[in-house]
A and B are shown apart, each in its own frame.
Chain A
């Protein structure tokens, strides 16, 4: 496992720019999530590391070695696809042993390594099966074992859970997450599902329109989003206009003593629904629509100045209907400034 570094990568296809000025480092042993809407450049990023795209400009380094022009088969990267892409002409065991075979590992040893990996992934009993007879979850485990068998410099996972049903996804997420941690694998995890990235990754990079918007731990990304895009993409968020003045945030309808730096002036702040307590404060909010979701009830209310506010009506759903006015309080610690004028 090595540190992988993307240095000022640009990739264009004709007139279209897929990725621009991208600097990204995946530290040794780290799982870095790459999230963003479709077409944001996350797949291009993955394919650039794998070597299937040569960047128009910039460098790719594996442990300080420049591999920008090295072809994919010499990079020793593990790839796991959403569609599994198992070799149907080979047994499960042969699939897993394929990489070591290409590396010239002798027969008995590669067999042992494959068996060991299948055991690790809890699918040893499938060794002699044909891939097409397996379920989606089993195929994904085989795909992972196959990629790990070459002891890759970096493991690249391209939407590996998409297409699996919710329960299985949840289980695999936990299992694979702890397995990767245990093995100390360096991994890049591309997904459009920010929740999945939060659950599995040490750090997350948010891409939008070919540019890196923010990179940080899941907590940093969620609690201190760098800008409106990140705030809106990761979790649900209220973006409110505010006046900053030396540690106070004036939202118009309320003033909060939030911890901000000493900038002053117009700004946009983000407030998560979790940081809005319903029924305890002094801000009147009129409920405009709500959805009962079982564990919680999500609602959209209207503030006195007409701005909309997303909130959660935990346990209060029974009394609330459209048109009801509730009073809410905003936790000052949950307010993050994302944009100053």
Chain B
């Protein structure tokens, strides 16, 4: 028996019948993590592995044979390039807007005494609980044919509300995305603002810096990790939005495309390959982003 095997066996035995506190701790960690690992295996690892197989299946309804035609379509069909471009610019733009607005809102919450602050905090966090389809309806309630804004503009301009409705256009979808993302961005940024060193801000003011410069030179560097974290979160969330697009349409992004290839002709291989590319991309963004936020934290 080689040394390595012997060593591994003894490690396994130590974990089962521990002698030292370290082995007992190892066993505890294993016991504590086991339920999660089981769930992750059943609900994520196995299904994702199956999806890889699915993307190269020769048959639409079962995993049989081998064919890379779905991947070839994905790589060559200009439709998918357009879908990718749409998905990326839309997620990036909506994230940027949400984070910028989120900074303003968090700033107001942290620095100004707003009336009914507790209620306002609830108002900002409320949309986090709303599924995408409900968010879509919120946009309809504002910008749809029967929407409040649409009808108000129609009333004052004399045009017909049907011509003015923008809920199902790119604009409406944009508002929907921001509606979902902004509360999440604000939540992260409020946390960061809570840790801003107000003494440093006051010192800057005492040294003669006006509020704008104080914000730029003192506050902004302090909330930068929060901005990075919020951007990462909103970008990732934006990529995963489906219900809102399904209802409003407006722009053909990847999630919508997946549902379309499934509902028209059940092209499961293409759906699976888009899903895989998508998952890999989200994973990559997350890890690159995490590295960046961590580096940022260390640099501080």
Q: Tell me the A residues contacting B by CB distance below 8 Å.
A: 51-54, 69, 71-72
Contacts of B19 in A (CB 8 A): 54, 69
Contacts of B53 in A (CB 8 A): none
Known A54-B20, A54-B21, A69-B19; further 4 A-B contacts with Cβ < 8 A: A52-B21, A53-B21, A54-B19, A71-B24
Chain A proximity of B29: nearest CB distance (Å): 15
Decide yes or no whether B291 CB sits under 8 A from chain A.
Answer: no
Decide yes or no whether B22 CB sits under 8 A from chain A.
Answer: yes
Chain B proximity of A54: nearest CB distance (Å): 4
Chain A proximity of B274: nearest CB distance (Å): 46
Q: Which residue from chain A places its CB closest to the CB of B20 in the assembled complex?
A: A54
Q: Chain A at the B interface: mostly helix, strand, loop or mixed?
A: loop
**Cα(A54)–Cα(B21), bound, Å:** 6
**Cα(A53)–Cα(B23), bound, Å:** 11
Chain B proximity of A44: nearest CB distance (Å): 12
Q: Which residue from chain B places its CB closest to the CB of A54 in the assembled complex?
A: B20
Contact with A along B5-28 (1 / 0, CB 8 A): 000000000000001111010000
Q: Tell me the B residues contacting A by CB distance below 8 Å.
A: 19-22, 24
**Cα(A71)–Cα(B24), bound, Å:** 9
Contacts of A72 in B (CB 8 A): 21
Contacts of B22 in A (CB 8 A): 54
Contacts of A69 in B (CB 8 A): 19-20
Contacts of B24 in A (CB 8 A): 71
**Cα(A177)–Cα(B88), bound, Å:** 69
**Cα(A72)–Cα(B19), bound, Å:** 12
Most A-side CB within 10 Å, residue of B19, B20, B21, B24: B21
Chain A proximity of B62: nearest CB distance (Å): 51
Contacts of A52 in B (CB 8 A): 21
Contacts of B21 in A (CB 8 A): 51-54, 71-72
Q: Which residue from chain B places its CB closest to the CB of A51 in the assembled complex?
A: B21
Q: Which residue from chain B places its CB closest to the CB of A55 in the assembled complex?
A: B20
Contacts of A53 in B (CB 8 A): 21
**Cα(A51)–Cα(B24), bound, Å:** 11
Chain B proximity of A8: nearest CB distance (Å): 17
Q: Which residue from chain B places its CB closest to the CB of A52 in the assembled complex?
A: B21
Chain A proximity of B15: nearest CB distance (Å): 14
Chain B proximity of A307: nearest CB distance (Å): 44
Contacts of A71 in B (CB 8 A): 21, 24
12 pairs, CB–CB < 8 Å, chain A vs chain B: A51-B21, A52-B21, A53-B21, A54-B19, A54-B20, A54-B21, A54-B22, A69-B19, A69-B20, A71-B21, A71-B24, A72-B21
Contacts of A51 in B (CB 8 A): 21
Most B-side CB within 10 Å, residue of A53, A54, A69: A54
**Cα(A71)–Cα(B28), bound, Å:** 13
**Cα(A72)–Cα(B18), bound, Å:** 13
Chain B proximity of A70: nearest CB distance (Å): 10
Chain A proximity of B252: nearest CB distance (Å): 54
Nearest 5 A-B pairs (CB), nearest first? Answer: A54-B20, A54-B21, A69-B19, A52-B21, A53-B21
**Cα(A51)–Cα(B19), bound, Å:** 12
Chain B proximity of A69: nearest CB distance (Å): 5
Q: Which residue from chain B places its CB closest to the CB of A56 in the assembled complex?
A: B20
**Cα(A69)–Cα(B22), bound, Å:** 11
Q: Which residue from chain A places its CB closest to the CB of B19 in the assembled complex?
A: A69
Q: Which residue from chain A places its CB closest to the CB of B24 in the assembled complex?
A: A71
Chain B proximity of A204: nearest CB distance (Å): 27
Contacts of A54 in B (CB 8 A): 19-22
Chain A proximity of B200: nearest CB distance (Å): 27
Contacts of B20 in A (CB 8 A): 54, 69
**Cα(A110)–Cα(B248), bound, Å:** 67
Chain A proximity of B14: nearest CB distance (Å): 11
Q: Which residue from chain A places its CB closest to the CB of B18 in the assembled complex?
A: A71
**Cα(A51)–Cα(B22), bound, Å:** 11
Chain A proximity of B25: nearest CB distance (Å): 9
**Cα(A52)–Cα(B21), bound, Å:** 6
Chain A proximity of B26: nearest CB distance (Å): 12
**Cα(A72)–Cα(B22), bound, Å:** 12
Most A-side CB within 10 Å, residue of B19, B20, B22, B24: B20
**Cα(A69)–Cα(B20), bound, Å:** 6
**Cα(A53)–Cα(B20), bound, Å:** 8
**Cα(A53)–Cα(B24), bound, Å:** 11
Q: Which residue from chain A places its CB closest to the CB of B25 in the assembled complex?
A: A52
Q: Which residue from chain B places its CB closest to the CB of A50 in the assembled complex?
A: B21
**Cα(A54)–Cα(B22), bound, Å:** 7
Q: Which residue from chain B places its CB closest to the CB of A13 in the assembled complex?
A: B22
**Cα(A52)–Cα(B20), bound, Å:** 9
Chain B proximity of A299: nearest CB distance (Å): 37
**Cα(A239)–Cα(B167), bound, Å:** 84
Chain A proximity of B10: nearest CB distance (Å): 16
**Cα(A153)–Cα(B20), bound, Å:** 21
Q: Which residue from chain A places its CB closest to the CB of B23 in the assembled complex?
A: A54
Q: Which residue from chain B places its CB closest to the CB of A48 in the assembled complex?
A: B21
Q: Which residue from chain B places its CB closest to the CB of A71 in the assembled complex?
A: B24
**Cα(A69)–Cα(B30), bound, Å:** 21
Q: Which residue from chain A places its CB closest to the CB of B22 in the assembled complex?
A: A54
Chain A proximity of B165: nearest CB distance (Å): 56
Chain A proximity of B55: nearest CB distance (Å): 44
**Cα(A247)–Cα(B20), bound, Å:** 53
